[in-house]
Amino acid sequence: MRILIFGGTGEAIDLADALVRQGHQVTTSLAGRTRKPRLPNGHIHTGGFGGVDGLADYISRNGFEMVVDATHPFAAQMSANAVKACAQLNAPMLRLTREAWQAGAADNWHHVPNIQAAADRLGAGSHVLVTVGRQHIEPFVLRTDCTIFIRAIEHPEVILPAHVNVILERPPFRLSDELAFMRTHEITHLVTKNAGGDQTAAKLEAARMVGASVIMIERPALPEAVEVYSVEAALQYLGDHSASIA
Ligand code: NAP
């Protein structure tokens, strides 16, 4: 089958590698934001398509028989475009996403709708680990009354003031490292998107253990689509679909 995967996640890489091993013709599409992304096997498309119409044109010109949206749960524009373009073409589409994290009884989470609201929730003097990526960090940079630690894969493209520290790291993260970091820097708040998944979940347990508050940015709403929550489930779905059109 000719399969187009919208990527930018570890799951997208694992899915593409598995589908290539099964003999499918796979193209993974990346937005092109990360300078040195991890790349899956198969073909790579880099950069946007120019909205829904451009995407629909790309899908039909290349004869893709299946589209998989395996983007991050916060890539709402791309996910919406994928649904609309596939609806236009009447093309089959699957969304591979992660189940949202849920707070446990011992957790101290505050739910907020966006990054600005997260920054607004911080009290003066807070020591904050910010794990929302390197873009859209301005609201934290403006909190000169807090000590901010931005953790990202690549350095933000702006000059940062002295109260903002950058830690360059790539998931997965281990609980022992998260705990050591939070204790060393006396972290009082963790700011995170509700991305879900195992690779970055240790910070939530560490926050619980050190008594830090979690400011949880809730997911954007996405248009309805067939959804699966693991690479294995995606492979099963695609296998069934492939058999049904053979
Ligand atoms: P977004 O706001 O949903 O998308 C904005 C535009 O960027 C899209 O309309 C599309 O441009 C282009 N684009 C986005 N993802 C693309 C992809 N995989 N392939 C080709 N074009 C893409 O996206 P975002 O939140 O900036 O995320 C960009 C990428 O980073 C995604 O691949 C996502 O999986 C990954 N990522 C995002 C986050 C996050 O927190 N948002 C975290 C980790 C990884 P056109 O309209 O021109 O087609």
Residue 35, both tokens: 């300078």
- Please tell me the distance between residue 19's alpha carbon and the centre of ligand 1 in angstroms: 22
Alpha-carbon distance of 183 to 88, in angstroms, equals: 52
- pLDDT band at residue 87, thresholds of 50, 70 and 90? very high
CATH of 2-99+221-245 given 1.10.10.60, 3.40.50.720, 3.30.300.30, 3.10.129.10: 3.40.50.720
Alpha-carbon distance of 9 to 34, in angstroms, equals: 11
Q: Is the pLDDT of residue 35 over 90?
A: no
Question: Using a 6 Å cutoff on CB, does residue 133 contact ligand 1?
Answer: yes
SS3 174: coil
Q: Please compute the mean of the pLDDT values over residues 97-116 and round it to a whole number.
A: 96
Residues in Cβ contact with 39 at an 8 Å cutoff, skipping those fewer than 6 apart: 13, 28
The pLDDT mean for the chain works out to 97
In this structure, whether the domain defined by 109-217 belongs to CATH 3.40.50.720 is answered with yes
Question: Using a 6 Å cutoff on CB, does residue 139 contact ligand 1?
Answer: no
Closest residue to atom 39 of ligand 1, CA basis: 74
Closest residue to atom 24 of ligand 1, CA basis: 75
The atom of ligand 1 lying closest to the CA of 76 is 3
Question: Using a 6 Å cutoff on CB, does residue 46 contact ligand 1?
Answer: no
Q: Please compute the mean of the pLDDT values over residues 64-74 and round it to a whole number.
A: 98
DSSP state for residue 24 in the 8-state scheme: -
- pLDDT band at residue 246, thresholds of 50, 70 and 90? confident
What are the residue ranges spanned by the domains of the chain?
2-99+221-245, 109-217
Alpha-carbon distance of 55 to 27, in angstroms, equals: 14
pLDDT tens readout for residues 180-214: 999 999 999 999 999 999 999 999 999 999 999 99
